[in-house]
Amino acid sequence: MKKLLYVALLALGVVVMMTPPVMAQEEKPFTIHGEVRYRGEYDNNTSDFDDNADDGGLFWPYRVRIAAEGKFTKNVSTWIEFQNAGVAGNGINGPQRFGDSFGTGVGVELYQGNVTLDQLWSKNFSLRIGRQEIVAGNELLLGDLDFYAGMSHDGAVGNWKLKKVNLMLWYTRPVEGQVSTFTGGASPPDQIFINPGTGSGTQNFLGGYATWTFNKTQTFDVYLMELVNRGTGGNMQTVGVRYAHETTGTGFFWDIEGVGQVGQVSSALVTGGANDVDAKGNAFEGWFGYSIKSGKKTHRFYGRLESASGDKSNTAGKNEGFQPLFGDFHNRLGHGDWFQMSGNLGGPTNLGGGVPGNASGIQGLSAGYTGYFNDRHEFGVALWQYKVAEENTAGNGKKLGTATDVWYGFNYSRNVNFTVSLSQLSPDDALTGTGPGTLTDNVTRLYGQARLRF
């Protein structure tokens, strides 16, 4: 934490040094933003499904970040953001515990650092270059993962904002494997080692996302994304459509999205395998409900379907499992985050006690209610039922289990809110197995969170 404060003060010092010559043009060229989030969380039975074994734990994950937004001229701005995310009691320069040493576990990082050029070449076009969040639609494939430690990309993003259509194009590099001895721009060419060939592991991510807005409350999205993995020879394309309607009064609301994947997951020439592996995954997300508005109270009743295709164990030349790319998985399949929208063999979860190789893909079905009261209180409950998309080797059926979510949110002020959530999962045969001595005790996740944003 001290390291984060040091970095923040250093950034503020730079801002102060730069401010005087700019003040003649802009009254407030810099704005400071930030977030402090602490969460007390208790998890039980996640590793063994056994009430008789002591595997419950209470811990305190946190995220602290501070950002400086600079506006130098009318069309040029920058965003510089540092963050530290971890678990309380495991920080730096804190009270020393047995076996610890001071100065270890440094977690301060540059989360975002970018420059935006607005009205570049056209009054409708802007270009952002550098490290940045990329968020689109309902965050199924592009999200910020803000409940946890966030997610940012290194690259360039262009935006065309027209009257009813917004088009976003991007190119980023999720993994840099070509250069192995690079030290922050200080190395001359004779000290930089370039990894030759396709086995470097470098990944490139590019695509386009278009959004049409009509009738003020409805949006229609289409997108195409490509992930190129030089380490495996993969070149996978992801295409999708989304249609959403939101309401602020009484009426129906929905959010429907379908995704398909084609191309190659890997090439035999690169991996040395017997066959190329084609991408054949797909996913579907459907959210449909009815909202009742009464004064300052809103009641929302809804049903949800989340589905990610699974890979079959007997199809060597293709991978039918959905590859989730860079989406936000929190509360996609419930507040407990028991499962993720993934189609890989072995199952879409790391919950202990599961049956390796049995489950592939995921289907989640939910019915829920959320109530909003006086803009300050939120209360919700949801019931979930889970099963695998493909049953493979173990023969334990497709049922993963059922879950219940109950949560309450309180807006203390405009910038401060609190959330309490209780989720309980009752595992079933596809997750636990069916043999003698099978453990099937409930899994619990309880957390209380405080968040300040400014």
Euclidean distance between CA atoms 361 and 347, whole angstroms: 6
Q: Model confidence at 346, in pLDDT bands (50, 70, 90)?
A: low
Q: What is the mean predicted confidence (pLDDT) over 428-442?
A: 83
Instruction: For 279-305, write each residue's pLDDT tens digit.
Output: 999 999 999 999 999 999 999 999 999
- Across 19-28, 249-258, 318-327, least confident range: 19-28
Q: Model confidence at 7, in pLDDT bands (50, 70, 90)?
A: very low
* Whole-number pLDDT of residue 233: 87
| pLDDT exceeds cutoff 70 at 26 | no
212-453: CATH topology: Porin (2.40.160)
Euclidean distance between CA atoms 415 and 373, whole angstroms: 18
Q: Phi-psi bin for 155: left (phi > 0), alpha (psi -120 to 50), beta?
A: left
Average pLDDT value for the chain: 86
Per the model's pLDDT, the better-predicted residue between 297 and 187 turns out to be 297
* Whole-number pLDDT of residue 182: 65
* Whole-number pLDDT of residue 97: 40
| CA distances (Å), origin 118, targets 74, 122, 124, 125, 159 | 8, 9, 8, 6, 9
- Across 60-64, 73-77, 167-171, 450-454, least confident range: 73-77
* Whole-number pLDDT of residue 10: 42
* Whole-number pLDDT of residue 6: 43
* Whole-number pLDDT of residue 185: 65
Euclidean distance between CA atoms 392 and 51, whole angstroms: 29
* Whole-number pLDDT of residue 101: 42
| pLDDT exceeds cutoff 80 at 361 | yes
* Whole-number pLDDT of residue 199: 62
Q: Phi-psi bin for 16: left (phi > 0), alpha (psi -120 to 50), beta?
A: alpha
- Within 8 A by CB and 6+ apart from 7, the residues are 82, 108
Nearest CA among 225, 231, 188 for reference residue 209: 225
Domain boundaries, the chain: 1-118, 212-453
* Whole-number pLDDT of residue 356: 55
* Whole-number pLDDT of residue 114: 96
